[in-house]
Amino acid sequence: MPHTRLLLLLAALTWTACATNPSSGDPAGGRPPPPSGSQGEIEPVAGTEWYRKAVFYEVFVRSFQDSNGDGKGDLPGLISRLDYLNDGNPETQDDLGVDALWLMPVFASPSYHGYDVVDYERINPDYGTLEDFERLCEEAHRRGMRIIIDFVINHSGVQHPWFVESASSPSSPKRDWYVWGPRDPGWKQPWDMFSTAPTWHQKNGAYYYGVFWGGMPDLNMRTPALREEVKRLASLWLARGVDGFRLDAARYLIETGGGAGQYDTAETHAFWKELAAHVRQVKPDAVLVGENWSTTPIIATYYGDTGGVPGGDELPLNFNFPLSEQILAGLNADNAAFIAAKLVEMGGVYPAGISDAPILTNHDMVRVATQLGGNGGRKANAAALLLTLPGTPFLYYGEEVGMTNGTTSNDEAKRTPMPWDGTPKGGFTTGTPWFGFSPGHASGSSVAAQTDVAESLLSRYRKLIHVRQASEVLSRGGLQVLSATTGRAPSLAFVRLLGDEQVLVVHNVTDSSVSVGPYNLPGSKAEVLFEDRGVGTLTRASNGWQATLPGRATGIWRLQP
Ligand SMILES: [Ca+2]
Ligand SMILES: [Ca+2]
Ligand SMILES: [Ca+2]
């Protein structure tokens, strides 16, 4: 997304937090954590598709690996780094071990980020050819990894031939592929009631709707011919080897009027159900992931009806932005109650059996390492939290080595080249990187500096991903919160549940040692699935399980009869 859009989304986040989520935490303001709701328990995921127990990795192709010295990452470069992500051998654990990649836009586009597509059938020449893309899918599949791609269909680029044709005349056959009117009705950007940015833009004597900016006209998905074209394109890319799509700006798809008609409309939900049914028919286990950047109750509606289709008949995964916000707030406040309260709220609000998609940050957010002030203990907490939560976690490339934001204030600073090593070109290119490395790439925040270091953040991510994948309970199970959801909670404790299996997870989110428990859970023996150095033995006292954890440490135990 372009710079303007990011600022707007940040504004949106602030607005939703202030306007509709008064319980949202703000460590800087010292406000108390949110009140507890009903003690909602998160149910195990329904459905058995691969993506319901996967760990995803978000890749910005332009910044991952350059293969031809032009300073821009590309598909052959990404292929050459697949073994880093998953070597296809479950016996080895010196790879990251992720199950799937989400590629930010790879279609032809005039911008560096690609969110303004000008050809939905062609690969961006900076990234390579269709043959390169098909080879990427084959090479990923050979290693047991899936590939999903950004499918940006709320809007196209202003240079897309569809829009050029549509704008040419009111009688154009593509006129109704976009949203035209005779005048500017003065709609606001729906995420910012104080916005003065126009959403209707003048062109050839008329006005078109472009909610983000004039360079990205909104497609008019109420037009049947366009709906069919989008379904055809989805089928085309599924046939070319992709395993699903990430859906940009999903809640803004179909607008029916100004104000409340600009987001979350019934028509939008109906189209996503239509597309989901189409995709299920073409490739039954393909996944759709929604970017519905909103509050927990609104995100919950994008799963659709869980009666007929396990996990919901609309979007099977939706990013959990509010949980990300509470994780970061809780870690920065050394207070797990922020996170516990959000988990309890999710349990009460999300339909039973859905698959959450937790994230720490993505390409539109200041990187997690920066948001956590570079604090090593908090970064260690964040990794352990993300990889012990229910659902399908998404890592953003570079998070695993503690990559920080770049020093500029634009969106590019969230998307800087991957630091493979500490040399000036970072192992990323033999030429000049398209954008500078983030600070720290030469002083420890690189793959080379961390790969053989047992206590490194990269080693921690590798270990925790493998622990998660080795446990059906951790990957597919439900969750019940054990720690406090109000006041001050130095640790986040929860039990993951699947059938008769119970896995106890405790994260100490302070710098000091804490004694945790007693937890009144069944079992007489505890099998260690993961313990940080110094974690005391989990013991069974008469009133329950208890242990002592050093600062920032995590313990994961399977409770046995
Ligand atoms: Ca290149
Ligand atoms: Ca491996
Ligand atoms: Ca729209």
Mean predicted confidence (pLDDT) in 509-518: 97
Distance CA 510, CA 408 (A): 31
| pLDDT score of 156 | 98
248 is a catalytic site residue: yes
Q: 459 — alpha (psi -120 to 50), left (phi > 0) or beta? A: alpha
The tens digit of pLDDT for each residue in 26-67 reads 333 333 333 333 357 999 999 999 999 999 999 999 999 999
| pLDDT score of 20 | 32
The tens digit of pLDDT for each residue in 61-90 reads 999 999 999 999 999 999 999 999 999 999
Ligand with minimal distance to 90 CA: 2
User: Per CATH, is 3-155+224-473 categorized as 3.30.70.360?
Assistant: no
Mean predicted confidence (pLDDT) in 100-118: 98
Question: Would strands 180-181 and 206-209 be described as parallel, antiparallel, or unpaired?
Answer: antiparallel
Rounded to the nearest whole angstrom, what is the distance from the C-alpha of residue 155 to the centroid of ligand 3?
Answer: 7
Ligand with minimal distance to 77 CA: 1
Estimate the crossing angle of helix 266-282 against helix 224-239, to 10 degrees.
40
Query: Comparing 3-155+224-473 with 161-209, is the CATH topology the same?
Result: no
Give which of 475, 498, 484 is closest to 392, Cα–Cα.
475
> Confidence class of residue 289 from pLDDT cuts 50, 70 and 90?
very high
| pLDDT score of 195 | 85
Q: Is the model's pLDDT at 138 over the cut of 60? A: yes
We find that the CATH architecture of domain 475-560 is Sandwich (2.60)
Give me the residues near ligand 1 (ion), CB cutoff below 5 Å: 66, 68, 70, 72, 74
> Confidence class of residue 373 from pLDDT cuts 50, 70 and 90?
very high
Domain boundaries, the chain: 3-155+224-473, 161-209, 475-560
Rounded to the nearest whole angstrom, what is the distance from the C-alpha of residue 67 to the centroid of ligand 1?
Answer: 5
Ligand with minimal distance to 61 CA: 1
Rounded to the nearest whole angstrom, what is the distance from the C-alpha of residue 64 to the centroid of ligand 1?
Answer: 10
Rounded to the nearest whole angstrom, what is the distance from the C-alpha of residue 293 to the centroid of ligand 3?
Answer: 14
Beta bridge partners of 494: 481, 505
Ligand with minimal distance to 85 CA: 2
Tokens of 320: 């959990």
Distances (CA, A) of 407 to 378, 404, 414, 438, 440: 21, 9, 9, 7, 11
Among 248, 264, 314, 356, which one carries the catalytic annotation?
248
The tens digit of pLDDT for each residue in 343-354 reads 999 999 999 999
Rounded to the nearest whole angstrom, what is the distance from the C-alpha of residue 383 to the centroid of ligand 2?
Answer: 19
Superfamily of domain 161-209: Oligo-1,6-glucosidase; Domain 2 (3.90.400.10)
> Confidence class of residue 237 from pLDDT cuts 50, 70 and 90?
very high
Q: Is the model's pLDDT at 2 over the cut of 70? A: no
Q: Which of 36-50, 247-261, 291-305, 543-557 has the lowest mean pLDDT?
A: 36-50
DSSP letter for each residue of 463-509: HHHHHHHT-HHHHH-EEEE-S-SSS--SEEEEEEEETTEEEEEEEE-
Among 41, 218, 291, 412, which one carries the catalytic annotation?
291
> Using H for helix, E for strand and C for coil, what is the string for 384-406?
HHHCCCCCCCEEECCHHHCCCCC
Mean predicted confidence (pLDDT) in 172-179: 98
Q: Is the model's pLDDT at 1 over the cut of 80? A: no
| pLDDT score of 377 | 98
192 is a catalytic site residue: no
Rg (CA), the chain: 23
Q: Is the model's pLDDT at 11 over the cut of 50? A: no
Q: Is the model's pLDDT at 193 over the cut of 90? A: no
Give me the residues near ligand 2 (ion), CB cutoff below 5 Å: 87, 89, 92, 95
Rounded to the nearest whole angstrom, what is the distance from the C-alpha of residue 245 to the centroid of ligand 1?
Answer: 24
Rounded to the nearest whole angstrom, what is the distance from the C-alpha of residue 252 to the centroid of ligand 3?
Answer: 5
Rounded to the nearest whole angstrom, what is the distance from the C-alpha of residue 241 to the centroid of ligand 3?
Answer: 28
Estimate the crossing angle of helix 457-469 against helix 376-386, to 10 degrees.
20
The tens digit of pLDDT for each residue in 432-491 reads 999 999 999 999 999 999 999 999 999 999 999 999 999 999 999 999 999 999 999 999
Ligand with minimal distance to 128 CA: 1
Distance CA 33, CA 295 (A): 16
Rounded to the nearest whole angstrom, what is the distance from the C-alpha of residue 268 to the centroid of ligand 3?
Answer: 9
Tokens of 286: 């393909």
Tell me the helix, strand and coil percentages in the chain, rounded to 5.
30, 20, 50
Rounded to the nearest whole angstrom, what is the distance from the C-alpha of residue 96 to the centroid of ligand 2?
Answer: 7
Ligand with minimal distance to 417 CA: 1
